[in-house]
Amino acid sequence: MDILHDTWLWFLQADHWNGDLGIWHRFAEHLYYVLISLVIGALVAQPLGILLGYWRRGAFFAINLFNIGQAFPSLGIILLCIMLLGFNDVPVFIALVALAIPPMLTNTYVGISHADQTLCDAAKAMGMTPLQSLLKVRIPLAMPLIFAGIRTSLLQLIATAVVAAYAGLDGLGRFLIDGLGQRDYPQVIAGSVVISLLAIGCELLMAQVARRWLNFAIPTAG
């Protein structure tokens, strides 16, 4: 129980919250890595997933090609990119974007390609163009799966962004790496708690966003 007490005392120290080495600054750095990677990944995955789901040509090749990114360890990709591109944020973004794309791409493709055919046929019978049918029927029907893919990618990014610290970069992972190096175990536990709370908070936020969107979109699709 001493370690839990020491961790509590670690949280109570003001200098652990403020400054360039404090929780708030590390928190902002972590979110920076995660959100930029998520946005870049979504800009690639969502349009491509919609196109593949609608035309269904080359889907197997494209999805498996992007899934290769999950087969390589993120730390290895970061270290390789640092050797090739230098010591900056780019290697981290390459590794995280490669991790973020597959769940969003796969879920978007499945959602679009497996949209209720009866509703799609009804939209066509009403005189909708293929583009109108895609925007007003298929995409709204696919939104539950699309949101699920985004949530999966987001949680994976939050956890994996910790490896940026292994490469000497910043973020909440610094509490884990520096704490282990200094044998400051309260710092390690505190960092783990903050990362876990960030993941839980983002999951709850995404669940609320998805619920509100679906309450708005599903009646429109029907």
- Residue 87 backbone phi and psi in degrees, to 5: -90, 100
Tell me, what's the pLDDT at 217?
57
Query: In terms of residue numbers, what domain contains 137?
Result: 3-216
Give domain status of residue 91, yes or no: yes
Q: String of b and e for 167-200 (b: at least 16 CB within 10 Å)?
A: bebbbbbbbbbebeeeebebbbbbbbebbeebbe
Q: How many other CB atoms are found less than 10 A from the CB of residue 157? A: 24
Tell me, what's the pLDDT at 40?
96
Tally of structural domains, the chain: 1
The runs of H, that is alpha helices, within 126-184 are: 130-133, 139-160, 173-182
Give domain status of residue 221, yes or no: no
114: which DSSP letter?
Answer: T
Give domain status of residue 222, yes or no: no
**Cβ neighbours for 147, distance < 8 A, ≥ 6 positions apart:** 206, 209, 210, 213, 214
- Asked if 111 and 53 touch (Cβ cutoff 8 Å), the reply is yes
**Segment 124-166, tens digit of pLDDT:** 778 787 778 887 888 888 888 999 999 999 998 998 888 878 7
Tell me, what's the pLDDT at 146?
92
Give domain status of residue 61, yes or no: yes
Give domain status of residue 192, yes or no: yes
Give domain status of residue 71, yes or no: yes
Residue type, 193: V
> Running along the chain, 222 residues long, what does each successive block of 10 average in pLDDT?
83 87 91 94 93 80 76 74 76 86 92 81 78 82 90 91 80 89 90 92 88 64 42
Tell me, what's the pLDDT at 39?
96
Q: Specify the CATH number for the domain of residue 90.
A: 1.10.3720.10
Q: Which two tokens mark 164?
A: 């940026």
Radius of gyration of the chain (CA): 21
**Cβ neighbours for 5, distance < 8 A, ≥ 6 positions apart:** none
Tell me, what's the pLDDT at 69?
66
